[in-house]
Structure 1
Amino acid sequence: MPSFDAVIEPDLVELRNAVEQAQKEIANRFDFKGSSAQVDLTSPTPKTRELTLWADSDFQLGQVKDVLITKLSKRNVDIRLLDFSATPQKMSHDKLKLSVPVKSGVDAETAKKMQAALKASKLKVQAAFQGDALRVTGAKRDTLQEAIALLRKELNEWPLSFNNFRE
């Protein structure tokens, strides 16, 4: 029976490349000379990723954020994966640190919304929540393609990707 997985995950290679490009631009820009402005990509646990932005002031932190967003956009990394809602932490010597978690995996609430959208559409597919993904199975490949189109249309606030397509 054909199936696919609906997941929320970043392209880690492009994310790393965008962070490295942002670091290069920050190192070369005149307005960041002599400052501690930088961007780091860390992985506290194997499944979670986090961007850390460092700067000397609020204005500089905003500039670092703008440089990072520009580089991410140019590399086609979805900005909706990043959660910039945290407030910056004050560190020693009046430096600021902003931790930005990178969303990965489908949480239970989003999976329920996806399942409800599929049930309401009356498509002949079954959806099961498995770990960090929603597995959708159906009898025909065409119905699965309709399910993908429906999920993209209904849940456009989430950067969904579809992988593990099997016949």
Structure 2
Amino acid sequence: MASTYSFDIVSDFDRQELVNTIDQAVRDIKSRYDLKDTQTTVELGEESITVNTDSDFTLESVHNILREKAAKRNLSQKIFDFGKVESSSGNRVRQEIKLKKGIDQDNAKQISKLIRDEFKKVQPSIQGDAVRVTAKNKDDLQAVIQRLKQEDFPVALQFTNYR
């Protein structure tokens, strides 16, 4: 009976937690004295967050608020990809923050190579924007998870479908 066990390595985030984070950040921006009269807007789109405010200083404050609120809701800081700051109408600044979801091919190859080099009894396979890891022993899979948690990849990693 050669049964195999597996799990998936994915990069995802809880959309509802992100919505709650944005709501809390907007409330915080409206109540803070230094940001009250800046007419700052934070809009959540399908794949990005758009921040529109009156200066680079207030933009930096909005970044700090967003990061703080996301951390409190257990969202990784790695999901935020801060874009270029653009000038907007009326001496305002605008920035689009892309939301990273899924493991790109380069990172998937890097993860697979690390697993293949360090764990001989484990087989990684890239499946779209996820990496599936299979082995005959659950302990080997646990060791892989612990090893990947030690690495600092540019994307947030979650381990799902453990069976």
Does the TM-score normalized on the shorter chain lie above 0.5? yes
Structure 2 residue matching 1:32: 3-state secondary structure: coil
- Matched residues, number: 160
Deviation at 1:154, TM superposition (A): 3.1
1:146 partner SS = helix
2:50 matches 1:62: no
Contact 2:100/2:155, CA 8 A, preserved across alignment = no
Which residue does the alignment assign to 2:97?
A: 100
Q: Deviations over 1:74-129 (max 9, x none)?
A: 21211122112x22111111221110111110111111111111111133111111
Rounded Cα–Cα distance in structure 1 between residues aligned with 2:91 and 2:50: 16
Alpha carbons of 1:63 and 1:148: their partners in 2 closer, same or farther (altered >3 Å)?
A: same
Root mean square deviation, CA, Å: 1.5
Percent identity, aligned pairs only, is: 35
1:2 aligns with 2:32: no
Shift of 1:71: 1.0
Listed as ranges, the matches of 1:112-151 within 5 Å are 112-151=109-148
TM-score, with length taken from structure 1: 0.88
4+ residue stretches of structure 1 with deviation over 4 A? Answer: none
Where do residues 42-57 of structure 1 align in structure 2 (5 Å cutoff)?
A: 42-43=45-46, 49-57=47-55
Give the secondary structure class of the aligned counterpart of 1:99. Answer: strand
* 2:86 aligned with 1:83: no
Equivalent in the alignment of 1:23:
26
3-state SS of 1:135 partner: strand
CA contact 1:123–1:147 (8 Å) conserved in 2: no
Letter in 2 for 1:117: L
Question: 1:155: how far off?
Answer: 4.1
1:139 Cα shift? 0.9
1:159 is matched with: 156
Structure 1, residues 42-81: CA drift from partner, whole Å, max 9, x if none? 10xxxxx211111011111111111111111221211122
Q: 1:33 aligns with which of 18, 32, 36?
A: 36
How far off its partner does 1:156 sit? 4.8
Q: Which runs of 5+ in 1 are unaligned?
A: 44-48
Alignment gaps of 5+ in structure 2? none
- Which amino acid is 2:78 matched to? R
Scaled by the length of structure 2, the TM-score of the pair is 0.90
- 3-state SS of 1:27 partner: helix
